[in-house]
Structure 1
């Protein structure tokens, strides 16, 4: 035992699951009622203890907020008393997340819950805690440091293998920020006494109760004091916060190892259990950011005002956007349903028994818990739709009449100018004498039909700005623009002779000026993908899989058992239930099914060519298991792009409780491949940047994965399904230190790997889209990050009142951004100016100059929570353009920068 131990800091906490121990509604209700009463009781019993021996209860920020908002008046008054005295506190994070699945800005907004509590109650935590989930992506220390956090505690559950890290270390993010990090292996927290090998003069005793259990008994304090006395230590007991411990610990300048790498989440497979919702939330993130920037631009131009003060129009819109962010992040919380071993057992696996059991009360209740997860997205989308509807009025008292002309604002929240196909939803085709125009230039726009509206081709959308477009009558065009309207030639087939395709008995081919794609007419799989510019063939002809092959797999009891043995850190009976599938059929063998092509056809239009393949599944894979009945996939080339767009639609997928997964495979031909994965907020090399014993097999990307030899490369952007393996299918497997075996990208479409709270079966229709981006050089030289973000950011039109069709203010970043991107433009939380948040995309240290199209009185650097920082004034540079300011600052690799613009 460390005889030099001076002080033991004690932090009390419970693990917060939104669900798991019951329905979400039941769990949240418990926090507001029974648990809050218990917290008040123990705080009251110990309030007269010695100053450092009073019970202090630390909560995640979100459940504390829910408790304060939903408790009765008497409990709330008591809770406020202990908030004031410091016995009831919170940490910086709202709850535990599957972090690498979350959106960057979305995750940052989770810390705004803590900010709101700080603004109301004065306490500002400088600590953070996540529990249960084994690992998190390495942007976390960078983000937490930029939010004022000095310590992070991670507590892994007792069954899961944790990343190979020491108990305490400095976790270094990609931008070089270092965060004091404690990692508890085998448990949510620690014991009251340090382990024998602990050499530091102070110890962190994080005394944790189990899932949603609530606080301890008041006797716990005396019990801890007795344990210290029995050990013979003379250490002082100090009950407080993680912040208290960090301040003391760091003041002693500890010599700690530095871990620079990604603690990849070994539970990330859970994301694949809800494929439709995962697709929805990935698209929703960009839509929220676009709506928020639209609000800021509208306020800057004076179109939206706060008539009525705090209840004004812009505040109402902002409230709905905040609500949308809240619920989209809740989808990334780590629970996703109730505990199967508590609520679903006993389970059956044969199809007939399963279908019968699905109507039972326990199965219906379990499905209801999964629906609660889906409801987060329904609420997020509803709130966003309400915000957009209010934005479309463009003023506090404007009501759009049915007779209004068809006028739309098309917003681009990206930090560079772009061309886009814009969907105007639910809009009928224009009359014969009507045309779409750019309301500033008068340029006529090309349009086409869509199943749910009209699609417009809009060129050169301004960086972080918008264009206003309208549908008007031909006769009004010249009058409106006095003969200066830009004429567009009559619609003709302008398809290049290099954009073409054909089908014969053996092969189908489509090509443009950039690539040539050849498909086998027997399988529908790509046999050749040739990059004409780089003179590079991308299909590995020796692979045992077809390029673009869909594969459906059923896994064996042997594989499940092997996985448990490889992954278990400590064997607990609950862990075997959670990670295995109790009572799974012993005789079940590994089965793999592919498709049987029934049709292939060619579609040729003026600006694209497309091959469409239709295939059926092996009947037994549908009837006995859970395969899709039919699979339709397409390969599309456009006239002016080297990118290949591919889409799969699975229909008639059966529900099954058997261990299953679906995959799309891309076996690339490349010698000496190097890989890059865009994870939330950064780009990592899976061969060097993933910490040992993290998730080295299964990965989750933000926007793209890239394979390159430094001379030529190929990136894949999965619009809907972010999970993938490199080199082999690693379902129901685990490796401490896997390195990709070959450049074969294996995208997981769906899985029910979990045996616990995540959805256990999925059925119906599923859709998956991928964009393949061939490029020169590596991912930076090929501007992969830029193309990927455009692919992940669809553009839509917002109806506005006609009176704003001539607004001159159309962009915020007239010069665009070089190697950086916008994460948000928003009204400041305190109403004092606007917040512009940027991210470095290149992973390079350099000086950056950004032009903003407003005359700013002041530009300050802030932390992520919009609080001013030391050395916060930016260099304002005079610009030749009197209507624009320029700011200059230094960036580090993948650094996030937040500016307040007054």
Structure 2
């Protein structure tokens, strides 16, 4: 009972002002797009479909384990009472409850559930009084990977197949205001027909019709309902363009099903609306009804960028882990399937891989830890506190030492452990499979086996035991044995002017970075020298109350947002400022493979003990790697953020940003209301001048970039960068909720930069360069043995670059055969030839969707090859038999 009372008080506090001023002069909210096409009239609503749901936060209002327990026990028991009370009512008037895929799979039906409840849950699923929508939870779509999203659909599919139910055709996202346009592509190719997005009511919504066709980068469309609060009102809005209306009625965070009194109130409210029929139903039922109307409604083609995405870099170490390990999940599967085809005895990895993908999904869920210290479950003493819980400087340090933040911090540690588990499984599995492969290749003990997870041959660097090697022309999804010739680094003369085969470089030891970078092939200066920054420079921003309140006034609609976006009780002497490390020392090292320039500063104005920048210039590749390291960054609750700066000299730049699912042109492909100051970038960004030349940048360890200027604590409807500058976010503490609000420790971040030449297709340049950066060649030292495999071998290969193989192994959706999934990301449509390993004895490819449902005709495989039509940015999946 005490926990229930504390939760109630937390919710009451959350829903009211915490004493902060309301916005003084909020920017006007432009009207959303019309629900109706020109000349069309609203047909009048005849059927109201009421869907009950609770908003799930995994570890926000209480610890994750407590949330799981509440779902498993209290929520189920309360839902059963409502179901039992309605058994004698007509079917369409009986209470039904909708739940996301992972809470039902992982918490409610997990191993700790009692047999009695499990049996009742099964009954409710069969009766349709429990419904599971297609998505696993509410996610941060901007900082995920393609195959991770596909695997996250499995939880809902697994439940449907276990209980012999149809797969869900509807999906729901709640709270996060905006999502990547991957979703229409993903859901369409999974057989899902409808998506409801409910924006957090305290934030400015994206400017969309309430019902529209949302078109993804590959041209896929899905029916979408976007509302400016968690769900939607009981009464239809003016101009609703269909006869069927969806009212999604949400209880608050982890609150559970509604009370019987609330259900009765809803019935009474609908009864007041004349001429309509009430259905207490599911989103699937609404979807079938509304699609039968053959609606003519607006089509919105565009991407909406998450205004909350800054939070992922409040965990810079774990976000780096996620960004690096997620591409290796598919590499692990490709490697395991391939070595078994090559005759190597390797274990079945399907269970381990499923656990890795599951924990990656949980790390991508939108709540990363406790609500805030001093509130309810996350306080030291269980007392709910007001703004005095916001502490700074010595007060913060003292309270932390005394344990005030202990439970709060543990909630974030729970979240970090998800991706750590994924990393441990995948790294261990790759190492074991590489070692098994190496033992099967003849060796005198002086060679290295290199595996390429990409479906085209390539050359590149590999790192093994701290040493770097270069591997030439490693076959597609195959391996090659190279000699164990170490690249020995030697310190050379220290100088600020430096020249490589590709660039003339001049370093700045005042700001720390490159002040001049000349492309020797064109003679062009690549660094903008008139601005405030140099290439690769590290800056640290401190913010004052002025910037924080300006952001709040621009982005928030009501006072209860203050707990998230305002930093209450900030010290009055906190001023905005940019800290630039100084007194840089320079060191140069060279080897047969590369040159390194290392800059180090211990004068960082109290931000940390030291920072360093390492600029790597390969001898035979015309790109530059920049690695930033920070030593013992100090924990600080004053608003702050760190950046690496890349000011490029490009006139009238065009910005093409590689978002998850497809590239966008910043000038054309953004839906108004999304984030325009900070982008989740999945692959890379090319900034090009009208003549087609420019620069490309791939942030290896961070998904967050700003363009034109650093983008923390900023929001607007129409910002567009004027300068061709990219800023890679290294850390920030922008919010007080959902995410940690201090960063600390020693960590690093790497970025790759390259030149873009005339006549290159930009989207292809982005895809190929970023994949060769983010999907590294994998290596293992070979011991002396008498294996039988040849020194090199090819695996799956595809006829054009920029198409990924994201799955090659057992089909977790239950189809017999080998699952192969390819995903186009270079922006090219047309024929694609797939060449399978010659050891693979298959004769047909059966097309399936992203949830394993058969579609289309069988394709004949001849001489281990088959050809498909593949659209730009589209996936294609096959069962090979």
- State the partner residue of 2:363: 331
Counterpart of 1:460 (choices 461, 473, 480) is 473
- State the partner residue of 2:793: 810
TM-score (ref. length: structure 2): 0.88
Gap change, CA 1:803 and 1:759, over 3 Å in 2:
farther
Alpha-carbon deviation of 1:459? 2.3
- CA distance in structure 2 between the aligned counterparts of 1:746 and 1:252, rounded to whole angstroms: 47
Counterpart of 2:526 (choices 538, 541, 553) is 538
- CA distance in structure 2 between the aligned counterparts of 1:408 and 1:520, rounded to whole angstroms: 39
- CA distance in structure 2 between the aligned counterparts of 1:213 and 1:407, rounded to whole angstroms: 59
Give deviations 1:104-162, integer Å, cap 9, x for gaps.
Answer: 11111100112211221122101110100000111110110101100000001111111
Q: How does 1:737-752 map to 2 (within 5 A)?
A: 737-752=718-733
Gap change, CA 1:468 and 1:828, over 3 Å in 2:
farther
- CA distance in structure 2 between the aligned counterparts of 1:539 and 1:102, rounded to whole angstroms: 31
Alpha-carbon deviation of 1:794? 2.2
- State the partner residue of 1:698: 678
Do the aligned residues in 2 keep the contact of 1:388 with 1:798 (CA within 8 Å)?
Answer: no
- State the partner residue of 2:119: 77
Q: How does 1:390-429 map to 2 (within 5 A)?
A: 391=433, 394=436, 410-425=450-465
Alignment of 1:729 onto 2:710: yes
Q: How does 1:788-827 map to 2 (within 5 A)?
A: 788-797=770-779, 802=785, 804-806=787-789, 810-814=793-797, 816-827=799-810
Gap change, CA 1:469 and 1:516, over 3 Å in 2:
closer
Alignment of 1:293 onto 2:293: no
Q: How does 1:26-425 map to 2 (within 5 A)?
A: 26-66=66-106, 67-69=108-110, 70-123=112-165, 124-185=167-228, 187-231=229-273, 233-304=274-345, 313-314=347-348, 317-340=349-372, 342=375, 343=378, 345=385, 346-388=388-430, 391=433, 394=436, 410-425=450-465
Do the aligned residues in 2 keep the contact of 1:836 with 1:901 (CA within 8 Å)?
Answer: yes
- State the partner residue of 1:480: none
Q: How does 1:411-490 map to 2 (within 5 A)?
A: 411-425=451-465, 450=466, 454-467=467-480
- CA distance in structure 2 between the aligned counterparts of 1:114 and 1:793, rounded to whole angstroms: 29
Q: Segments of 4+ in structure 1 off by > 6 A?
A: 403-408, 490-495
Alpha-carbon deviation of 1:319? 0.6
Alpha-carbon deviation of 1:771? 0.9
- State the partner residue of 1:485: none
TM-score (ref. length: structure 1): 0.86
Alpha-carbon deviation of 1:834? 1.2
Q: CA RMSD in A?
A: 2.7
- CA distance in structure 1 between the aligned counterparts of 2:486 and 2:611, rounded to whole angstroms: 35
Alignment of 1:572 onto 2:572: no
Give deviations 1:606-648, integer Å, cap 9, x for gaps.
Answer: 22222111112343xx1xxxx1221111212121111011111
Alpha-carbon deviation of 1:348? 4.3
Q: Which runs of 5+ in 1 are unaligned?
A: 306-312, 426-449, 472-489, 879-883
- State the partner residue of 1:849: 833
- CA distance in structure 1 between the aligned counterparts of 2:771 and 2:324, rounded to whole angstroms: 11
- State the partner residue of 1:629: 609
Q: Which runs of 5+ in 2 are unaligned?
A: 1-40, 380-384
Q: How does 1:761-840 map to 2 (within 5 A)?
A: 761-777=742-758, 780=761, 783-797=765-779, 802=785, 804-806=787-789, 810-814=793-797, 816-829=799-812, 830=814, 832-840=816-824
Alpha-carbon deviation of 1:409? 5.1
- CA distance in structure 2 between the aligned counterparts of 1:492 and 1:655, rounded to whole angstroms: 38
Alpha-carbon deviation of 1:407? 8.2
SS of equivalent to 2:772: helix
SS of equivalent to 2:501: coil
Counterpart of 1:890 (choices 862, 866, 869) is 869
Could you tell which deviates more after superposition, 205-214 or 295-304? 295-304
SS of equivalent to 1:74: helix
- State the partner residue of 2:598: 612
Alpha-carbon deviation of 1:807? 5.8
Give deviations 1:704-727, integer Å, cap 9, x for gaps.
Answer: 111111431211111112211111
- CA distance in structure 2 between the aligned counterparts of 1:704 and 1:610, rounded to whole angstroms: 23
Do the aligned residues in 1 keep the contact of 2:487 with 2:593 (CA within 8 Å)?
Answer: no
Gap change, CA 1:814 and 1:12, over 3 Å in 2:
closer
Give deviations 1:828-861, integer Å, cap 9, x for gaps.
Answer: 2236221121121222332222222344211122
SS of equivalent to 2:583: strand
- CA distance in structure 1 between the aligned counterparts of 2:50 and 2:125, rounded to whole angstroms: 18
Do the aligned residues in 2 keep the contact of 1:134 with 1:156 (CA within 8 Å)?
Answer: yes
- CA distance in structure 2 between the aligned counterparts of 1:682 and 1:522, rounded to whole angstroms: 39
Do the aligned residues in 2 keep the contact of 1:337 with 1:370 (CA within 8 Å)?
Answer: yes
Alpha-carbon deviation of 1:215? 0.4
Do the aligned residues in 2 keep the contact of 1:713 with 1:778 (CA within 8 Å)?
Answer: no
Alpha-carbon deviation of 1:11? 1.1
SS of equivalent to 2:574: coil
Give deviations 1:29-85, integer Å, cap 9, x for gaps.
Answer: 111121122222222222332111111111101000121122111111111111121
- CA distance in structure 2 between the aligned counterparts of 1:687 and 1:287, rounded to whole angstroms: 33
